[in-house]
Structure 1
């Protein structure tokens, strides 16, 4: 028996890959009868890997061969609530409505939907309630999990919601929601406290890095950028592990004034800027706004030096702070569009990959600063090395930032089959052929 499925909002096929892997582990054959994606560059990557080009806009797809399972990593659009007093709304005009439409027409046996974690709390939970009610109105029983990819052999902090449903059968699952560590620092603290009792067998960034010989020269940081970094760390670039290049917070951050972006700063000017960033949000200066402007007398409460006015004048001239005309000062915290905005810690997990910034994540390997490669982005999403990246790096970075984590999909589907084996046997005659993977 073959499970036929559709792959909607397919991207580069991450959900499909995880689904097919899970079914293969159970000895279940699969056949994709339709894939749909509107991004032409993602379609090119899909074609490279699955030898088929997805159909276009889901709004214009109506006739499909019968299928058993629906997969969709659908975008989360705002829902219009007609009747908020009931806590439920109208899905018309949203992309979820297209899923609802196809489920109602074709009545597949089950589905898997993936979305951002914000769906759980969107509109105080009413959006998710709307989705579940609409699915249950079609006689699907629904269960969902909120999972962090870092708990599934992927060194990335990526929390997503996975919604599964079966026709007239509540989907039992043994997996439990677990949002994992909120950032790389918390992850390291937890790992130290676990000793040898890590039930998830976590991996870290160093496990997905390419070797020096594999990394092309174009991914290494430019001499100009390295010279800026050396103003802060000298030649000890390995000390950059876990640092973010950002102006509006302290912690493990490097700021534009430390790099000399708008002009070199003295050590005293750097200390002033760091103190201003650390203290300007304190409630003692008022609560009417975040990052409020401070007078020189307010500044003296945390940075009192004889030449304070000279320091302020110098930083005003360079453009690191601004004056509102009434001698109240605030940092000018613009966007620092450097080659790297965050150096990953090889002994921890990565921040969440995004389509906008994946190309500016960095790593220091053997004391050499560089950007992570598209292949390393693929590995951070759990794609196997045989998966072909788009030949244009710009598109490859964007696509992996937008994608799902393949092993999480595989695990959710495997858990679904394992815990509902009689249901799958009834519909696909698989019980005698499969054993729990």
Structure 2
């Protein structure tokens, strides 16, 4: 491999909490066994190809600030190969186990569907050859069905059936490539699957289109023998006024309506939770309760800004409690912690990208260790068990089992002349308990 943007960086190693090395892991000891498994198997970190390699630093008010060598190549396919070389060198520097991509991240689009697919498959073969020499695997693949003007009114939900068909073909080939490269998941992110105004929108028809599209994806997964998970990534708004995959609860209702709740899980993002008016831990806990927790995009948003800032995580207590609910749900399985996060547009040096990932991985590892300590300590679990202990009684269980009717419950309540007294929720005590772990 020729020199890349990251050739001068040594592979980042674990050096311990007392290290003062700027590029060393202080908490992410990949081989450290926690709750019976190495940290690398719990966290399953992934680098996002788009933010890390394709982002140029532009925003709605400013021109690009990041000038990468592959961004000014006249030969677009050579630029894609140069970008892939840099990507795998970055994976080497970070010693990261996974990466993820959209089709348009790894290959340029062509003038039509056929040429676009040709470019994509050629680059998929190139990535496959790279993966033979590196330890980094594919966490998931997905299709960019939102950037091109043809998707301005959505992909699966577009009023033009030709866009639906174009999108179906694109996803079909993206699933083929994800399977070819050994990906553990396939993600559908509906960046524009929503509406800007109801004046020109048939909501019912668009939901049916989206439901059918997802059913087609599931059917094809089984046809080709893809053993990975199909994931939906909820997002409430921005760029549309309302997106049909608003949050965990909304998506679960959608999956139930179209009979897909046992076929599809969720890829949850911290920044999207904030935009929906939720915390990351809320979204994870809800998904776990529905049995559809699949994978995580680890980032944060700025509560002062109402858009997708996609910053690397830095709030230790927020991340800890998010990962606490992951542990309580039994872990991420085939999912992982994907850094769907981008460096700031003023952070223009290659070193800034390395620092961002090292800090993010260390942050998540530290949070996971604290979350594991909370689980092992057991006092939070004990408090919850005590609060809901009344539901262990046979009479209480009968009310939930279906053996009681509203009338029979009412009769028993009247016979006992019930007069329940308020009981403290003990919130401050539990907040103090958690704070002491930090």
TM value normalised by structure 1: 0.27
Give the number of the structure with larger relative contact order, counting CA–CA contacts within 8 Å between residues 6 or more apart: 1
Q: Which has the higher helix share?
A: 2
TM value normalised by structure 2: 0.27
Q: Which has the higher strand share?
A: 1
Which structure: larger Rg? Answer: 1
